[in-house]
């Protein structure tokens, strides 16, 4: 295996994702956990950029880092009781760790057994975003999911407002 800039970037991003994930579950301070989560999300954005999915990368940063990470942090800060927790309150963590390791092993097995040695056969076409937009708005494409997504988000907002205010 040769070391190219791509492999180096992939290694850095993977370390960010995995290290961030480990930080999320192991840090006692909830705000620190949220910050580690932001690190993980950033690493995922980097991976998308590396895999030539720039639109997904930008969306990942915009939505996950710029909105969801901020929302999570604000939620922790607004809920005063959560701020005080510094002790490890979850007594079942050994079981959870075991289950997490098992899940990772199964997922890893599936990925390796199914996709080992599979490489992209053709380059990414330059007009992917245009094609995506066209398929969003045609009946042969994803018109129904596109419109349903907006209805779903409407429902999500109604639910959130009802829960937060009442």
Interaction site with another protein (CB under 8 A): 5-6, 9, 31, 35, 38, 49-50, 52, 54-55, 57-59, 61-63, 65-71, 73-75, 77-78, 80, 83, 126, 128-134, 136-138, 143, 146-147, 149-151, 153-154, 156-158, 160-161, 164-165
| Nearest distance, CB of residue 87 and another protein, angstroms | 17
In sequence order, what DSSP letters do the residues of 82-125 get, joined into one string? Answer: HHT--S---TTHHHHHHHHHHHHHHHHHHHHHHHTT----SPPP
CB of 21 to another protein, least distance (A): 18
Alpha carbons 17 and 127: distance in angstroms, whole number: 29
Minimum CB–partner distance for residue 149 and another protein (Å): 6
d(CA 2, CA 47): 19
If the CB atoms of residues 101 and 132 are measured against another protein, the closer one turns out to be: 132
Residue 91 or 139 with smaller CB distance to another protein: 139
**What sign has the CA pseudo-torsion 151, 152, 155, 160?**
negative
């Amino acid at each position: 295996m040769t070391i190219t800039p791509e492999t180096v970037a992939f290694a850095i991003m993977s370390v960010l994702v995995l290290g961030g994930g480990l930080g999320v579950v192991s840090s006692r301070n909830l705000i620190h956990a949220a910050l580690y989560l932001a690190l993980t999300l950033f690493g995922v954005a980097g991976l998308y950029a590396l895999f030539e999915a720039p639109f997904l990368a930008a969306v990942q940063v915009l939505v996950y880092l710029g909105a969801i990470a901020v929302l999570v942090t604000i939620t922790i800060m607004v809920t005063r009781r959560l701020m005080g927790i510094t002790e490890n309150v979850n007594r079942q963590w050994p079981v959870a760790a075991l289950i997490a390791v098992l899940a990772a092993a199964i997922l890893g097995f599936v990925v390796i057994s199914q996709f080992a040695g599979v490489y992209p056969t053709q380059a990414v076409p330059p007009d992917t975003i245009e094609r995506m937009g066209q398929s969003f708005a045609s009946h042969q494409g994803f018109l129904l999911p596109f419109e349903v997504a907006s209805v779903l988000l409407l429902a999500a907002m109604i639910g959130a407002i009802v829960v937060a205010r009442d």
